[in-house]
Amino acid sequence: MSSIIGSCYSNVILKKRESRINGGSHLQYNGLRAIETVQMPASSAAYKPKAVKCGRVRAMASPVSAPKRETDPKKRIVITGMGLVSVFGSDIDNFYNKLLEGQSGISLIDRFDASNYTVRFGGQIRDFSSKGYIDGKNDRRLDDCWRYCLVAGKRALDDANLDQQVLETMDKTRIGVLVGSGMGGLKVFSDGVETLVQRGYKKISPFFIPYSITNMGSALLAIDTGLMGPNYSISTACATANYCFFAAANHIRRGDADIMVAGGTEAALTATGVGGFIACRALSQRNDEYKKASRPWDTNRDGFVIGEGSGVLVMESLEHALKRGAPIIAEYLGGAVTCDAHHMTDPRADGLGVSSCIAKSLVDAGISPEEVNYINAHATSTLAGDLAEVNAIKKVFKDTSEIKMNGTKSMIGHGLGAAGGIEAIATIKAIKTGWLHPTINQYNLEPQVDIDTVPNVKKQHKVNVGISNSFGFGGHNSVVVFAPYKP
């Protein structure tokens, strides 16, 4: 383990700045790209190079003790509830069964007129019902982003045996909410801008600002349930949900809360959202074969398929869960977040930001790479991203013969800020059922992808430790680690 961490971190530090005084030039490097050239005198008494301090590198690369999992029941974190809204509905068992069957949830968009768009399909949620979770008056005002959040969040609480009646008997200041979104209330925001342009500012809805801002999912869920613990949102594009899990776990480990309701939500399948991603040239344009459009690691992939939904977990200290007799579904072992510091939309080709994130997550989880045998990959079906992720995985896991890796997005599309939440649930279901869903649309696998991607047909696999990867625009990387719960 020390060799992995040492190589990952020393590469970051040593390549960050490089000096060369030769013929009067001095080059500074940011990552792998030269960003500044400063002319220096060939010989100058005024120039005295400072000694380089390498203590930080030596400390990171020095031998460390064998990984050890957390044993303190106050700091061990278990998953006691799950809730989602997806293209396959809100029932988790039905959702996972559809994934195991290899069904595609991608369809032609009919929420708005997309007939003139170069991309006319996506993972659009249909027949969504919030009955029993949101009152009718608020339901009509809310952006779908918050409707999905409230339903997924409340279903997760119910799954954890924390309905409103039970919550009334608990210390709600010890229960927090951390559900993030990459885009926030995009439909409400777009409608507000349209109203401003067409009818003037006096006609803008008073809900325009509250239902647009990204923190409102966590706020509304707390308002409805009375949860008064740590409450905010994180917005790191498509890495959002994993960032929320990581931060929520740290709140519990620090003693800020006993329970955290955490995850991601997104509803960007709107005229503005689809149009914006088309402008980024990020989406697949297989309008005639939309169910085959999301094809991670396939040589003919041409972009991701936009999706939507919400995925929320109830994370709880083991001590608290045992004390109240909660159902324990799985254990959260750890996680990590890093940044590529490279480009707004493109990943680092060498995968360095991702590999360091995976390595750090294993350290936080107290496990060795050899213990991991399942990866729920980010795998969006983009040309650069899919291979960058595989390169990173190979850097950390020198032997991948026992690892299986799949791509949930091949069937439901890319849920953006919600993706990590939904995929965490898929990872936990794999742990619980012993079955891995396939990566569909695997026709011609990239030659360098020699890890088992569970192509087209489900596989039985006993998961020892599973990791779930999520990466976002801006170079945000996040990895979370789950395992079966063992007392």
Cα–Cα distance between 461 and 183 in angstroms, integer?
Answer: 35
Candidates 8, 145, 149, 238; catalytic one: 238
- Kind of pairing, strands 33-39 and 77-85? unpaired
- Kind of pairing, strands 175-180 and 107-108? unpaired
C-alpha count within 13 angstroms, C-beta hemisphere, residue 10: 14
Does 461 participate in catalysis according to the annotation? no
Candidates 320, 378, 437, 461; catalytic one: 378
Q: Are 83 and 158 in contact (CB under 8 A)?
A: yes
Cα–Cα distance between 141 and 146 in angstroms, integer?
Answer: 10
Candidates 251, 320, 414, 461; catalytic one: 414
Return the H-helix or E-strand segment holding 196: helix 186-199
Q: Are 451 and 403 in contact (CB under 8 A)?
A: yes
Tokens representing residue 199 in the block: 């009818």
What burial class does residue 66 get, using C-beta atoms within 10 Å of its C-beta: 0-12 exposed, 13-18 middle, 19+ buried? exposed
Strands across the sheet containing 330-339: 175-180, 259-266, 309-317, 77-85, 330-339, 476-483, 466-472, 374-376, 404-406
Q: Are 476 and 422 in contact (CB under 8 A)?
A: no
Task: Read off φ and ψ for residue 7, nearest 5 degrees.
Answer: -70, -40
Q: What is the DSSP letter of 296?
A: T
- Kind of pairing, strands 175-180 and 259-266? parallel
Q: What is the DSSP letter of 213?
A: S
- Residue among 18, 89, 98 at smallest CA distance from 52: 18
Cα–Cα distance between 136 and 412 in angstroms, integer?
Answer: 28
Cα–Cα distance between 446 and 468 in angstroms, integer?
Answer: 21
Which residue's structure tokens are 């961490």? 5
Buried b (16+ CB within 10 A) or exposed e, 446-462: eeebebbbbbeebeebe
Cα–Cα distance between 468 and 372 in angstroms, integer?
Answer: 11
Does 378 participate in catalysis according to the annotation? yes
Beta strands per DSSP E along 329-400: 330-339, 374-376
Catalytic residues: 238, 378, 414
